Chains A and B, each alone.
Chain A
Amino acid sequence: GQNIDQPTEMTATEGAIVQINCTYQTSGFNGLFWYQQHAGEAPTFLSYNVLDGLEEKGRFSSFLSRSKGYSYLLLKELQMKDSASYLCAVRKNTGGFKTIFGAGTRLFVKA
Chain B
Amino acid sequence: NAGVTQTPKFQVLKTGQSMTLQCAQDMNHEYMSWYRQDPGMGLRLIHYSVGAGITDQGEVPNGYNVSRSTTEDFPLRLLSAAPSQTSVYFCASSYIGGSSYEQYFGPGTRLTVT
Partners in one complex: no
Query: Which residues of A pack against B, CB within 8 Å?
Result: none
